[in-house]
Amino acid sequence: MPSTAPSIDSSKPEIDPSQVVDVGVLKELAKRYLVDALNSVNGPKTLVLDPSLAGPLGLVTEVALLKQHGVDKMFWLEPGPLQATTTNIIYLCRPQVQWAKLIAEHVKQHTKESQNHVYTLLVVPRESSVVKRILEDEGVLGDIHISEYNLQFIPLEDDLISLEYDHAFKEIWLDGDETAVYNSAQALLTLQKIYGLFPRIIGKGDHAAKLKNLLKRLQSQSPRQAPGSHTLSEKIDSLFIIDRRVDMVTPLLTQLTYQGLVDELMGMTSGHVELPASLLAAPTAQQTPSASAAASTSAAGRTALTKEKKKKHHLTAANDTLFRDLRDLNFSVVGANLSRHAHRLDSEYQSRHQAKTVPQLKEFVGKLGGLQTETQSLKLHTGLCEIVDPQTKTEVFNKSLEIQQNLLALYDVNAQISAIEDLVAQGVDVAVVLRLLCLASIVAPGIKPKVFENLSREILQTYGYHYLPLLLNLSTLHLLTTQPLSPAAQSLKLPLSALKKSLRLLTEENETDNDISYVYSGYAPLSVRLVQCVAQKGALLAAPAPVGEEAGAVPKAKAPKTRSHPIVGWKGFEDVVASFPGEVFDVVQAPDGGATDSSANAVSVLLPREDTTTTVVFFLGGCTYTEVAALRWMASQMRGRRFLIATTGIIKGSSLIEDLATSL
């Protein structure tokens, strides 16, 4: 690497903090609701936790806070008896049948053993008639006080908030259970309560449109007393909603940014990644134990939460400036970046030799703490790279990347399918194979039936016949399609060749330096391109000048940042966005809670402002870290606009596919 390019300017000093949408409020809200819920029960209490909530809760509270509010012990909600020493038992869970049944079992067991407990059930995010019904059928409804813990958006980073629903995609599109849509509307309503009405709501996708309609309806029903809830937001200029179904290509591809790869290869849950303890051993790595890591094990032999030698680490830019610099880089340049940081640190350490006078020495000592933290974080990321790097060098990894890129380029699709078949023969991870196969189905006009049948058979024989429901589910969703396309599949078909041109989905190697496509080394995520259609039209209308000589994969913000343009809807891209499946909408919200169709005229609210404004981008059905990276990069290219990325959850291709496997 001849010259290392400056990394994305992440500190954004030119933004006035008072104009930034502060998502800390959301965390405080989540914390306060929890504390209120705990305090409603008098005296010491035992907390029994739905394991899927451990991650989200860990992001909003610490164990110390729970202890402070009377939580004596914590257990996972899991099969087997529960031995509680306190009279009060509080259950905290999502409204799922399995949890209700476990709770009923506990209560019945305790009654049989004539243990006297007072039960409180906090359902997240709201009370559920199903849970009530099951408790009633089990005959324990009268013994349990049911209430709710309204946990909505949780900040993962200062520009990323998530509902942390792991299965939203599957529930909405496979099961047809639109609870996540409703809950998303409620959560967005809360955002409106805090920050004011979104002046404009723009989006794409049938379910995105549903969500928009629901949001408007709920807003019109919400009581008017709440001050501010019916005035337009001053900090937010619009809400962009995109549903995952609109862009299935992006999550199927292997993410190539640092954080994206860590998620792909090591798996991140609620911002946490499991690392070898040795990487975290240094004194600075002491984490405040998150709630997720602290539920204790009981005598009944409950599963130990912390696995030996592995530790959960919260990867966040909030306490790790190095990570802020690295997370969104293409992995290929992370190594170079790390070494640059190492050199800088080293020279800063060296500066102690120049410290001749006492004041100079004092200054150095003052910096020492920061340097040690940085050293620790450098060690952490070097270690992490050492784990990730070999996995990106394997034959299978590179083969699958090659197939992906060939498929996107529509280069000899048949050959790609036989390459996929070859991967099946090698018995590589089933998720890898299915991701590629789905991608092939989407880009090509379906797979030939004979070929498909043969491939299916290969897959079932290799991985087991119990994968048949998954294959059928993927077909139901038209993620796997055969020729000729059924009318339903035809209506969902993405005209990829046309879109590649009109939205420049594929870029030449030398262009990636100056475009969001750097995140996939040459492919620009369709979802983020759509955001660009609305929020950064310039990037799409004029192809950026190639940056010839320097071939680093870091996009450089060399050109002076352009001033962001006001949001004027899809203007200029109406035909393009209408050309593929998914409802297109664009409404201007009036302060009285009503909304008018923007196509008429609503320029008055869209006058360019000199201050920084925030555009909220909501992904219904989840988004990948790579899409987050691309949006951040977009923001770094503009003056005057930030993005607040909101999502039902962070997803990746493999978990998306695996989620569809079980209908249970």
Partner 1 sequence: MDDEENPTASWAAMPDSSAFYRKLSVYQLQWPIHDLSDYVIAGARYGGPLALMRDATKMLAMPRMGSSSRQSIQIFSSSGEAINTISWDQGRIIRFGWTFDERLVVLNEEGIYRLYDLRGDYAQHSLGPEAGEMGVIDARIYENGLVAMTGAMPGTSIGLLEVKGWIGGKPISLASPGLTEPPHAWSIVPPDVFISRHVEVLLASEATIIAVDALEAADQHLARGPFLHVAPSPNGKRLALLTATNVLWVVSSDFQNSLVEFDVNAAAHDAGASSGALVQYVQWCGDDAVFVGLDGLTLLVGPGPSLPYFYPSATFAVSEIDGIRVFSADTCDFVQKVPKNALDVFLPGSTEPSAILHDAWMHFTKRSPRADEAVRHIRPELASAVDACVDIAGWEWNVRTQRALLNAAKYGRAFLDSYNPTDFVLMGQTLKVLNAVRFYEIGIPITYAQFVHTSPSHLLVRLTARSQHLLALRIAAYLSMKPDAVLKHWASAKIARAKKADGSSEDDATVCKTIVEKFNQLGGGEVSYADIARRAWEVGRLALAIQLLEHEPRPADQVPLLLEMKDDKRALLKAVDSGDTDLVYTVLLDLHRRLPLGDFFRMVEDGGPRLAPAANLLQVYARQQDREMLRDFYYADDRRVASAILALEEAVGMDDPAAKAASIKAAQKFFSEDKGSAFEAKMMDENLRLLAFQQELEKDVDHKVKFVGLSVSETIKLCLVNGLSKKAERVKKDWAVPDKRFWYIKLQALTQLGDFEGLSQFVKSKKSPIGYEPIVHHLAETGHAKEALAYVPLVEQKKRVDLYAACGDWQAAGKECIALKDRTRLENVTRMCTDALARRELETMLRSFG
- How far apart are the C-alpha atoms of 199 and 239, rounded to whole Å? 8
What are the CA-CA distances from residue 344 to residues 45, 268, 341, 384, 644 (Å)? 51, 29, 5, 20, 32
User: Rule CB under 8 A: is residue 145 a binding residue for partner 1?
Assistant: yes
Answer yes or no whether residue 594 interacts with partner 1 by CB under 8 A.
no
- Minimum distance from residue 509 beta carbon to partner 1 (Å): 18
What 3-state DSSP class applies to 73? strand
Asked whether position 450 contacts partner 1 by CB under 8 A, the answer is no
Give the side-chain half-sphere CA count within 13 A for 491.
6
Residue 563 binds partner 1 (CB under 8 A): no
Nearer to partner 1 among residue 607 and residue 664 (C-beta): 664
Among 128, 337, 527, 613, binds partner 1 (CB under 8 A): 128
Helix (H) or strand (E) holding 239: strand 236-243
- Chain Cα centroid distance, residue 514: 24
Question: Could you tell me which residues come within 8 angstroms of residue 461 by beta carbon, excluding any fewer than 6 positions away?
Answer: none
Q: HSE of 141 in the Cβ direction (CA atoms, 13 Å)?
A: 12
Is the Cβ–Cβ distance between 220 and 594 less than 8 Å? yes
Amino acid at 368: L
SS3 525: coil
**Residue number with CB closer to partner 1 (39 or 360):** 39
The number of angstroms, rounded, from the C-alpha of 94 to the middle of its chain's C-alpha atoms is 19
Of residues 12, 133, 310, 501, which one binds partner 1 by CB under 8 A?
Answer: 133
Residues 221-240 that bind partner 1 (CB under 8 A): 221, 223-224
Residue count at the site for partner 1 (CB under 8 A)? 59
Q: Parallel, antiparallel, or unpaired for β 144-148 and 638-639?
A: unpaired
Residue choice 2, 17, 79, 142 for contact with partner 1 (CB under 8 A): 142
According to DSSP, the β-strands at 272-276 and 268-269 are antiparallel
- Assess 482 for contact with partner 1 (CB under 8 A): no
Give the shortest CB-39-to-partner 1 separation in angstroms: 8
Q: Does 310 bind partner 1 (CB under 8 A)?
A: no
Q: Kindly tell me which residue out of 220, 278, 303, 372 binds partner 1, with binding defined by CB under 8 A.
A: 220
**Binding of partner 1 by 176 (CB under 8 A):** yes
- Measure the CA–CA gap between 276 and 285, rounded to whole angstroms: 13
Residue 596: CB minimum distance to partner 1, A: 19
**Segment 34 to 63, residues that bind partner 1, using CB under 8 A:** 39, 42-43
Residue 550 CB: number of other CB atoms within 10 A? 14
Our CB check for partner 1 shows the closer of 130 and 603 to be 130
Specify whether the CB–CB gap between 620 and 211 falls below 8 A. Answer: yes
Q: Quickly list DSSP for 459-516.
A: HHHHH-GGGHHHHHHHHHTTSS-BSSPPHHHHHT---HHHHHHHTT-B--GGGGGGSG
Over its C-alpha atoms, the chain yields an Rg (Å, rounded) of: 26
Nearest-angstrom CA–CA distance, 11 and 259: 18
Q: Give whichever of 128 and 536 is closer to partner 1, judged by the CB atom.
A: 128
> Which residue(s) pair with 45 in the sheet?
71, 88
Taking the complex as a whole, how short is the minimal distance between the CB of residue 525 and partner 1, in angstroms?
28
* Residue whose token pair is 């949780």: 154
Strand ordering across the sheet containing 268-269: 268-269, 272-276, 310-314
Please report whether residue 426 would count as binding partner 1 according to CB under 8 A: yes
End-to-end C-alpha distance for the chain, whole angstroms = 50
Minimum separation from the CB atom of position 385 to partner 1 (A): 16
Tell me, residue by residue from 385 to 404, as one string, x for binding to partner 1 by CB under 8 A and - for no binding: ---------xx---------
- Indicate whether 468 belongs to the interface with partner 1 (CB under 8 A): yes
The binder of partner 1 chosen from 464, 484, 495, 594 (CB under 8 A): 464
Q: Does 456 bind partner 1 (CB under 8 A)?
A: yes
In the complex, what is the shortest distance from the CB of residue 334 to partner 1, in angstroms, rounded to a whole number?
18
Q: In the stretch 241-280, what mask flags binding to partner 1 with x, by CB under 8 A?
A: ----------------------------------------
Cβ nearer to partner 1, comparing 59 with 185 = 185
Binding map of partner 1 across residues 633-662, x = CB under 8 A, - = no contact:
-----------------------------x
* 97 sits near partner 1 (criterion: CB under 8 A): yes
Torsional sign, CA 214, 216, 220, 225 = positive
Interface residue with partner 1 among 217, 501, 558, 609 (CB under 8 A) is 217
| The only residue of 425, 541, 578, 603 in contact with partner 1, by rule CB under 8 A | 425
Nearer to partner 1, 88 or 654 (CB): 88
Amino acid of residue 190: T
The verdict on 579 binding partner 1 (CB under 8 A) reads: no
Residues that bind partner 1 (CB under 8 A): 39, 42-43, 87, 95-98, 118, 126-130, 133-134, 142, 145, 171, 175-179, 181-182, 185, 210, 213-214, 217, 220-221, 223-224, 394-395, 422, 424-427, 453, 456-458, 460-466, 468-469, 472, 662-664
